[in-house]
Amino acid sequence: KHFGVQIEPEYFVTKPIIFGDFIKVGVDKAERVYEDLTDMEKIRSVLQDYLDDYNMTNAKDVKLVFFQDAVEHVSRIARMIRQERGNALLVGVGGTGKQSLTRLAAHMCGYKCFQIELSRGYNYDSFHEDLRKLYKMAGVEDKDMVFLFTDTQIVVEEFLEDINNMLNSGEVPNLFEKDELEFVLAATRPKAKEAGIPEGNRDEVFQYFINRVRQRLHIVLCMSPVGEAFRARCRMFPSLVNCCTIDWFVQWPREALLSVSQTFFTNIDLDSEEVKDRLSEMCVEIHMSVTEMAERYYAELRRRYYTTPTSYLELINLYLSMLGDKRKQLVSARDRVKNGLSKLWETNKLVDKMKVDLSALEPVLKQKSIDVEALMEKLSVDQENADQVRRIVKEDEAIAKVKAEETQAIADDAQRDLDEALPALEEANKALDSLDKADISEVRVFPSPPDLVMTVMEAICILLNAKPDWTTAKQLLGDSTFLKRLMEYDKENIKPQILLKLQKYIANPNFIPEKVERVSKACRSMCMWVRAMDLYSRVLKEVEPKKQKLATAQAELDATMATLQEKQRKLKEVEEQIKELQDKYDKSLGEKESLGKHWQF
């Protein structure tokens, strides 16, 4: 009016007044320029860069949509905490983004955001412990800090009393114990000395510490105006209002709601941009209609129902969740139909192929039936032949068994007769084996041997086919192989005339080992040997017919066994042929049944 300039009210909506020093990212805080920010798109881009950087350096991501109200609020919070001893009181219902915007603003200013963590058993002492940590970081470590405190964290009202003191004077009564206070003073003295404060003045050093805390520490309070608690706290603790810059978070305007919904629908795959715009408008209309109904609800029933940005975001997320679920259901149903059609198509192809295969299968099946019947007939004939051969072999086995038993009986009888002579022969050989050269020399040195010695030596000479006199006997005794000749004597083939000559000595009643032993021990052994030879020859003579009979029986048995083995071999060949034929028949029968099943199918 006074300057002659006419400005429409819409201008202040479309062209908001925003000042700040954060437009140049990465510039040192001391070199930042506080200026008028007119390019809204550039502001949004810079704020998005700050948000991306914040999410990269913090575990919990923050998701924000920078519509106009959000940009204005974050610039205000940044301006408040950039001022010396600047503190902020953010007033608005829950879910309006007060805490998220404060964390982003602190990150934009290069400050560290501190917030207490409520846990079971958190009390006034725990709150003081957190305040001591906060004071040390700001006053001792010289860090720029933002203390973010919400009304939901007020466990006891004494919390607000301490915050009221922090805002008013910066000092919390009885915050530090004596030893902790000494540590704070000792850590502050070097800086205080540089500022011209005497080291010995404890009060001034502590006040310097408090001033450093007030310069570095910025308190941001987030309060809800709902109910009487906020009004009562403002009256009880006036510094909450007097020492803070107040920023009211009101209901999001329509432009903000539309911007948020459009942002959420940006990456959703829909048919067209027109559909996205209509969905965005729909979400806004739903939220605005609920807000209007909440006002009507209050007007009629005097009860409040608050529609917050959080409820709006939940509405959008609910729609997106339902959209995703429905899409999954449709995709699943489509895939089922697609798979069903694919199976039907494959089945039709398979049926067509089977028809072709069956037309070619019919003659094969008929031929296979003929082959199986022929195999069955041949198998039956071969089985009868095999049974006949098996009966013959069984009969021959019985005959061979009888012959083997008869042959064994003859052999056993002959062996029993031989066994009668063997003990005497073995005893004689043992007696000869016990003799040595001295024993032989004892007999040989007789100039005129006793009668029994002469009798024994004459019998020895006869068996060795020598002249039966003492001279010849002495020569035999002098032979080094004399005992060996006796041990290896061919007792199986003694001539009958030798045995006949030997009988007069065997018949001599004195020609027994016991009587001969009285004259000569060596002659006793030779006497035993002579009598054993005579006994063995007589037994052998009696056994000879039996041995001949055994040889004849054994020859017959061998011939019978050879014939039997040949028949068994032929039987085995027949059985193997039958088994091979049976396997071939089973295989052909299986193929026939398989072909029959395919044909029936």
Q: What is the pLDDT of residues 31-45, one digit of tens each?
A: 888 888 888 889 989
Rounded to two decimals, what is the model's pTM?
0.53
Position 127 scores a pLDDT of 94
Q: Give the C-alpha separation, 479 to 107, whole Å.
A: 132
pLDDT of the residue at 63: 81
Of 291, 307, 323, which one is at a domain's C-terminal end?
307
- The single-letter code of the amino acid at 187 is A
Same domain, 204 and 263: no
Q: 88-91 and 35-37: which strand pairing?
A: unpaired
Asked whether residue 369 is domain-assigned, the answer is: no
Given pLDDT bands bounded at 50, 70 and 90, which one contains residue 13?
low
Place of tokens 């022929």: 374
Q: Is the predicted pLDDT of residue 287 greater than 90, yes or no?
A: no
Sequence-distant (6+) residues with CB within 8 A of 34 are 19, 20, 21
Residues 237 and 267 in one domain: no
Residues 431-446: what's their mean pLDDT?
73
For residues 165 and 205, state if they share a domain. Answer: yes
- Please indicate, yes or no, whether residues 438 and 538 belong to a single structural domain of this protein: yes
DSSP string covering 268-332: S--S-HHHHHHHHHHHHHHHHHHHHHHHHHHHHH-------HHHHHHHHHHHHHHHHHHHHHHHH
| Residue 486 placed within a domain | yes
Between the two ends of the chain, the Cα-to-Cα distance in Å is 99
- Judgement on whether residues 182 and 280 belong to the same structural domain of the protein: no
Q: Is residue 181 part of a domain?
A: yes
**317 lies in a domain?**
no
Instruction: Please check whether residues 296 and 218 belong to one and the same domain.
Output: no
Which pLDDT value is given to residue 124?
A: 93
224 and 184 co-located in one domain: yes
What confidence tier does 380 reach under pLDDT thresholds 50, 70, 90? confident
Q: Does any domain span residue 468?
A: yes
Look at the block and give the residue holding tokens 């999954």.
328
Choose between 558 and 517: higher pLDDT. Answer: 517
Residues 221, 286, single domain; the answer is: no
In a domain, 403, yes or no: no
Q: Do 172 and 101 share a structural domain?
A: yes
> Cα(64)–Cα(48) distance, rounded to whole angstroms?
9
pLDDT value for 428:
61
Total number of residues shown for the chain:
601
| Cα–Cα distance, 98 to 69 (Å, whole number) | 12
User: Based on the domain organization, do 268 and 244 belong to the same domain?
Assistant: no
Specify whether the backbone of 88 is left (phi greater than 0), alpha (psi in -120 to 50) or beta.
Answer: beta
Within-domain flag for 590? no
What is the predicted pLDDT for the residue at 70?
A: 84
Phi, psi of 113 (to 5 degrees): -90, 125
User: 167 and 270: one domain?
Assistant: no
Mean pLDDT of 480-500: 84
Return the DSSP state at 24.
S
- Computed over every residue of the chain, the mean pLDDT equals 83
pLDDT (tens digit, 9 = 90+) per residue, 420-429? 656 666 776 6
Q: How far apart are CA 268 and CA 366, in angstroms?
A: 66
Does the residue 341 lie in any domain?
A: no
Specify the DSSP element, H or E, that contains 248: strand 245-248
pLDDT band at 327 (very low <50, low <70, confident <90, very high): confident
The CATH number linked to 569 is 1.20.920.60
pLDDT at 2 over 70: no
Parent domain of 146 = 9-250
Contact 288, 306 (CB under 8 A): no
Number of domains forming the structure of the chain: 3
> Any idea what DSSP says for residue 491?
G
- Statement to judge: residues 234 and 291 lie in one domain: no
Q: How far is CA 108 from CA 74, 84, 98, in A?
A: 10, 16, 15
Strand partners, 148: 220
